[in-house]
Amino acid sequence: MNDSARPAGQFGVESSEEPKETLLCGFASYGLSGLTALDFLIDQLELVETGHVSAEGMPSITPFENGTPTHHTRLFSRPDLELTLLKNELFVPPALSGPFGEEILSWTERHGVEEVVVVDAVPMQHGPDDHRTYYVATDDYRERRLADAGIEPMARGYLDGVTGALVEQGIASPLAVGVFRTPVHEQMPDVEAAIRLVDTVCELYGLDVDTEPLQSFADEIQRYYEELHERYEAAAERERAFDDRMYM
């Protein structure tokens, strides 16, 4: 199936299979713990690539694995699992977060996806007692998944970037949107933060995944994610400089 028809300079989703009822997303963001968690789930659940998101009119990256290039934003699933995972390694500037989120939500609506979930980490001052996962969720997601989950809401703050765009558009749509965030340390990747996110997803969706191998898994891909983190920070710095020039 090809959903790539779109105006120039926008985003498009191309997939070979129908997405499942839940779309689980990990984006290139601070600390990359959400992306680490998603990568680990893809590995442990033995998911296969089923599609990708293309971008036009913006700087891009082309990751590669074992000498083979891949798309920067890919979809993964398997027939017996009611989850499609979206792994995004492309920094999406704030100005394009809205169009990116709109394309993702438009695609989910066309294909009957019922809920979108984002796993993420947030840099914040915290003590050992704060080493837990918090949620920000639309009413329908909270009623469906969180009534008896024992996960605390995040007290106050802001969601920005693609995550903020998805939640904002989910508020006024029938699509349920949930975001799970955990405090992250400066080291990258923060394995403990990634484990908390994996545990949360496994508990809510009944996945049988052992997080013990996550430490060695993170060690194997640490340099890869360090380079991605550096690119993310450089892109964010260029975006801030561009905004500063706009207001001069």
| pLDDT tens-digit profile, the chain (248 residues) | 555 444 434 778 888 888 999 999 998 776 678 888 998 999 999 999 999 988 776 656 777 777 888 888 899 999 999 999 999 887 777 778 888 888 888 899 899 999 999 999 887 665 666 678 999 999 999 999 998 888 999 888 888 888 888 898 888 888 899 999 998 866 566 778 888 999 999 999 999 998 888 877 767 666 666 666 676 666 666 655 545 544 44
26, HSE (Cβ side, Cα atoms, 13 Å): 25
Alpha carbon separation from 199 to 41, 97, 184, 205 (Å, rounded): 10, 28, 15, 10
Q: Is it true that the peptide bond before 189 is cis, omega within 30 degrees of 0?
A: yes
> pTM of this prediction?
0.82
Question: What CA–CA distance (Å, rounded) separates 72 from 69?
Answer: 9
Q: Are 165 and 104 in contact (CB under 8 A)?
A: no
